[in-house]
Structure 1
Amino acid sequence: MQNQTNISIIAVDDEPFALHIIAEFLSRQNYNVRTAESGLDALSQLNDKPADILITDIVMPLMNGIELTKKVLENNPDTVVIGITAIDNVKKAVDFMKIGGMDFIQKPVKIDDLENAIQNAVKRLKLKKELQEANKQLKIKNLELETSRNNLKSIFDTMNDFVFILNTNGCVLHFNPVVCEQLGFSQNELIGMNILELHSPQNLENVSQNVSDMFSGKQTLFIGHLIKKNGNPIEVETKISKSLWNGQDALIAVSRDVTDYKKAQRNMEAIIEAFRKGEVDAVVRKKDIFLLRPETQVRQTETALKNSVAKQNVLHDINTTKDRFFSIIGHDLRGIFNSLIVSTDMLIKIAQKNNSSQIIKFATILKKSIHNAYELLENLLTWSRSQREKIDITFVVLNIKELIEHNINLFVERARQKKIVLTYDVPDNVYVLVDKNITNTILRNLIANALKFTHPGGQIHVIIEQKDNTVLVSVRDNGIGIDSENLEKLFRIDSKYKRKGTDNEQGTGLGLKMCKELVQKIDGDMWVTSEEGKGCIFTFSLKAHRAYPADGGIKSSFSLSEPGLH
């Protein structure tokens, strides 16, 4: 969580005592707090210095909370607004939410309600900043791509080579200006023309064969003739390669005028033959013969075009990542908070009837939903930072057993509740060179994932294996497993694969993708083996550190008679 002294809050209430209570609580929580006893006073302060969070009474004289919220959000749309209202003013609270209020608290204000509302507001602020940074990076990438396109267009338009973009049938889709200038055709005449119509009849079989060779992966550099509109031939050397044009499969044909080169080559051959026969007495000076290899410029042209396609692929990956991010926020978070609202309503109704067993039942549901929401937000923020290279990586030497014990202890109670036996078998003296926070995140996600998809009464076992300079950590379960068709989707951001746990636990399908990316950032890798109905084995690799004994020690196995930690 970010430093709370950096978060500015302004509280507005026409009741001085209530305002004092709110300000006192927020000050003790180390927030930067200002107060105002009217909407006009608050607006004046905010015009001088905006705030991150506005807490306002909805019903106030002169300027009420709804009017104040409208004006504040017009000037500072990133401000998070929390309303305070009496129980009999529910309609005004609804109106307040419609104009952009994030949350509202009923009077008399309870400290727990206020604290929860503030924490949610802080999380929202943090998430907004993450998204703004992601959008900033995306704009930079778009600008880089646009610059690349403009540079490529300049190269394309000024090249002396003939460049044709063709569909897979050989029809012309696009070309550079030198084609019209040198061949004498107009743009309308060339568009849609088959490239074979521009080659001499003697070359047709050769061109067709080279296109076939290109599709089969063979080299396609060949000599032929392009025919001008006036019927005169130009001897060219042509390279054909596969590419994309407007999202469709296409061909790029780059032809270099080698008329002078071939003429010089034939002259050289004639001179050599004449010398061989003793027919030439004069000395041929070196400067009179100039040979140019056209393949170099053809290859340079091809490389420039392929680099543009590569940058388009990078932009596509960025957009896919952003779309997935918004999809998770829009769907999964909304679903979790809907269940929270419904469960809260049920708790209120049941509490009114004093049904304690039902209260416990719905309180348990609420706890699970809140846990899922927190886990989702943590994963989203970690993943978002990793996508933008914002994670600070610090390599330290750590005992892998201590890391595993620490993370297993976090799940002892959950394992007991689900009656799952959670065990580990790790030597005492195995050390790894890792980032501690990243490794803990990976272990937490894999153990939580195993608990989610293992039936009550099942088993989860964490083990390690050392191979040369690598330590392999495996989390095994005998849960529901994954079929082979969906196995390859687990680590791909462009694939949507989600399923509920054995106790109807929810998931986003994001955790495993994030774990693989994180372990790769610390020079490791991750993979999975599974058989549907028999469980999964998730394994990731870490760097072993040989400055410490890594092959000795006592293997420890701690056991309890009841489900939980073993």
Structure 2
Amino acid sequence: MKKIFEHKIFKLIAVAFLYFILGKMSFMLSVSNGIVTNVPFFSEGIGLSFSILFGNVMAIGVFFGQLILALSSGLDIGASLFISVLNATLAVVGGTIFRKLKLSTELPTLRDVLTLLVIIIVIIQPISSVVGNIILLKFSRIEASNLVLSIISWWFGNSIGQLVLVPPVLLLYSQTNFTIKNVQNIILHSLGVFSFTIALFGISLYVDEIYRVAFILILFPVIIFFSLQKEPLTVSIGLFFITVAGFGSIATGFAAHLSISSFQQFMELDILLISLIFTALTASVLTNNLKHVNLLLENSKKRLDAIVNYASSGISIINSKGIHLYTNPSSSYIHGYLPEELIGSHFNLVVHPNYINASNELIQDALSGKYKFIEREFELIQKGDKKRVWIHLNVSKYPILNPTDEDSILVFYQDITKIKEYEKQLKELNTTKDKFVSILAHDLRNPFSTLIGFSDLLMEKRHQFDEQTLEMVIMNINQTAKQTYNLFENLLIWSRNEQNLVTLNSKAENLLLLVQECYAITNQAAIRKEIGLEIQIADQIEVMVDSEMFKIVMRNLISNAIKFTPQNGKISIVAITEPGFVILSVNDSGIGMDENSMKKLFQFGETVIKRGTNGEPGTGLGLLLCKEFIEKLNGTLSVESELGKGSKFIIRLPLKNKPNATT
């Protein structure tokens, strides 16, 4: 069924039928010869509407509708054909001009409405009335003496017919969300203005003839008020019903004045309605546009409020004195202050003391207009816990919108604390990577070079060596292999620790047994250098440690003491207790360190790498592991040393319980 209504043939039949019916209705209302009428010729409105909406092909329907109407009104075939061709052509002309000017069928702007009115009153109908009456005169249907009056009647009647039908038809067709409620409202309002118009014309019969026109003009303010309240569609349909009511009242004699001819009354009403249509449509469209603009402004304000209020960034307006004039709610998530707490307060309330001078300079730089945008990174102090928060600022001068506005700046800021933490972690990772590459490139190269050198020597000259020389070469290879293995082991442990793959399993362990086990592993190196060892640890001291992690620390510290202690030196491992803790120290009589070396000892990337007293290689990596592991065990590691007088590494660890005796 829908396809039938949308088919061109159906539309052509519809326009022809409506053209004929509405034409007959106009002739019935009019005092005319059935050819020329000074009441609204609604047929012209239907013809132009269909031509605008569905294209110039609708002129065919206009032609046949006008031809049947003319023939049925007694016009001869020649005149009927000429008049039909004229009206069909003008429908094409009107539709073409409408499309060429790119007017909208929704008539959304004053330009669309006024241009449509001009097309009808100034272009189409003057041509229609002049040419049409010349045709009638040619076929002797009107007298030459009545030509001017007939032209004016045709012009006014056809103009009103198009003015009151084209806008509502275009607007109705353009509706996309029409509801039953919309239809009910339009019907209700249309019946209201229809009844009011009939009543007004009826009452005018009882008004003195001198004041009759003035009384009828009451229609003007009422309809204008109606136009200011309603949508253009409702107003345009209301104007159609006002037109029918006014002309119908006069034609039926309900409001006809016997002292004045019906033709004169129609002409007066034509002028009144053309003025009323022009004013009402203009007022309605302007009001509708104003409402639309206000709605857009309101929606824009809501969107802007939503953006400002729900943005993740803090937004503030600060005057030249540093006082908050405005701050958005989201800013409280950054510094902890509510907008009402900040507005009226100084910007320095939230700025870290280290950045107060910088913030004052920033305000002045932004106000100077020298820079369009200024970016900075500041630290704020959060309300409550006084936590330091890093922010990234984007500052610009705020425009003066009102004469009373003062110079101020607009500040956007984001919390970049986590980014700063990630930057720090990245820097540490880069340092770790650089150190790792350095160890691989340098510290592993030397031992491998030694291994390759001795092994080559052994392969080429083994038959020339005596037993003592062979033993020395093999011992060097063995020692280098062990040192390389220890380096690899430390590298592996350190790498796992950096990746948080080392798990902690702390429990109560006997301190003396752990130390003795570690010394037993490193004892051979001490014997070769004839180093004496003294252990002073109470046999009942129990510490809360992860045994494997602690043994790595002790092996490194004892090996380090042996490495840097000369032949016949002395090493002591001493433990003393204090409430809740044990102080364990590894002391040697070695070469010691200066103040600068001690400062760099536990700084990754700054470690001091020295060879032992017998040329033993080192990387400094073992001491870094020791410090990190002791801290994981909730302890501390420190060092005391003096160049040429030995070193003392001090470990402080939590006790399980207080010992009963010491040795």
TM-score (norm 2): 0.42
Higher alpha-carbon Rg: 2
Bigger proportion of residues as strand: 1
Q: TM (normalized to structure 1)?
A: 0.48
